[in-house]
Amino acid sequence: MSAEGGASEGDVNTSPLRATWDARHGEETRALLARDADVFLHQSLSTPCLDAIVGAEGVHLVTADGRRILDFHGNSVHQLGHGHPAVVAAIRAQMETLPFCPRRFTCEAAVAFAEKLVELAGPPFGKVLLVPSGSAAIGVALKLARHATGRHKTLSMWDAFHGANLDAVSVGGEALFRKDAGPLLPGTEHVPPPGLARRFFGDDDKATDRLADYIDYVLEVQGDVAALIAEPVRWTTVEPPPAGFWARVRESCTRHGALLVFDEIPSALGRCGSFYVFEQMGCVPDMVALGKGLGGGIVPQAALVVRTDLDVAPHLALGHYTHEKSPLGSAAGLAAVRAIEEEGLIARARALGKMGGAALEAMAARRPEIAAVRRMGAFFGVELHAYGGIAAEARADRVMYAALERGLSFKVGGGKVLTLCPPLTISDGDFAQALEILETALGTAVAS
């Protein structure tokens, strides 16, 4: 949401503070930003860009003006930080042996990578399709659900983001991506997300139970829903559902013949304190979409991991992407997964969660503009509210730019949630420094 209002999946690039920020850049940066704006299609959330980056190492981004920025945004690809040595080495070695594999052939890297994803998921998962993007993984899930069930309808949630392709936008619920897009896929039904259950189903602790009942009702009266597609954790605003919610939805899907598809594209790979997020949700979905950091933060790589018995369309093309069994993507992905295991990064995510959660709760006690602190593993949301005559959205915008000025980058989700997504490889010192910058930025936003 911008400072002027209007829902957004993340922070927009039309804030009035953007011009002030741009004026701080050096001549080289301004020149590159101008060339960028001239040649790329302009779109919300990106062009015109914030800054020009010339390097990235570990937790830091390095700008053309020589500034080092702690990256707590990273487009959610940097579980291992930027340029992890093991991933770089795996890519370099793969380039020297087999840089590309036509999809009608196979290669060791792709098979080993898929086997590892299945191993970590455990039964009943046994099949994988590799694809070049998270949006493509969602598209494959939609196709497979149709073939497996003989139905075409889907149920998903408002405000959710499942990718920017037209099919992913159809099941997604973010207005920024759906608005003025024209006719979307038919049969894409939506319900409120758990984070808004109190608004629609009663302002008490039973609201999400009533939402689960409503989902069951929709599946029953529709009678022909192929799949329920959802983020197990609302990523942009860091909203885990109450315990037991997904277990109830799982039961409803099974009872009414709908497949349950979890979009774990930004949230898996240890980020939330387990390799797969569903491990913490008290249920097992039928399909899991992976992406973002799956390529080690270097190579675009995604995957759909599914139950073995869903291998039901051998005569059809579910994905058929040119880089379907990319040796480079597979080598990067396998190296990333092994690094997560060997470096104990899942345990590190939990430790960072406890450390950061305690620090942010203490910060909230000192700062009345903070409405709530949420976390799951090493992912944090600091929700602001209107205070002192400043709207929450305007304050979030101010805080973001104040933090950037001091060397911390993060995302603003839902207009008023400061989302902090650090690499799992971050040192305690850098982590503490980032939180100090955040609190200073909050204070500056009050004074400005």
Q: How far apart are CA 297 and CA 79, in angstroms?
A: 8
Asked if 125 and 118 touch (Cβ cutoff 8 Å), the reply is: yes
Pick the CATH number of 85-342 from 3.40.50.720, 3.60.10.10, 3.40.640.10, 3.30.1330.80: 3.40.640.10
In this structure, the strands spanning 411-413 and 417-420 are antiparallel
What is the torsional sign of CA 204, 370, 356, 121? positive
What tens digit of pLDDT does each residue of 185-195 get?
Answer: 999 999 999 99
Asked if 134 and 163 touch (Cβ cutoff 8 Å), the reply is: yes
What tens digit of pLDDT does each residue of 62-84 get?
Answer: 999 999 999 999 999 999 999 99
pLDDT range class, residue 9, cuts 50, 70, 90: low
Q: How far apart are CA 222 and CA 216, in angstroms?
A: 10
Q: Where are the domains of the chain?
A: 17-71+345-447, 85-342
Q: For all residues of the chain together, what is the average pLDDT?
A: 94
Mean pLDDT of the 209-217 span:
97
pLDDT for residue 12 is more than 80: no
Report how far apart the first and last C-alpha atoms of the chain are (Å, whole number): 20
pTM over 0.85: yes
What is the torsional sign of CA 132, 123, 147, 192? negative
CATH number of 17-71+345-447: 3.90.1150.10
Q: What is the pLDDT of residue 8?
A: 54
Nearest one of 3, 7, 35, 8 to 20, comparing CA atoms: 3
Nearest one of 250, 248, 247 to 259, comparing CA atoms: 250
Mean pLDDT of the 292-315 span:
97
Q: Which residues of 315-324 are buried (b: 16+ CB within 10 A; e: fewer)?
A: eeebbebebb
What tens digit of pLDDT does each residue of 351-403 get?
Answer: 999 999 999 999 999 999 999 999 999 999 999 999 999 999 999 999 999 99
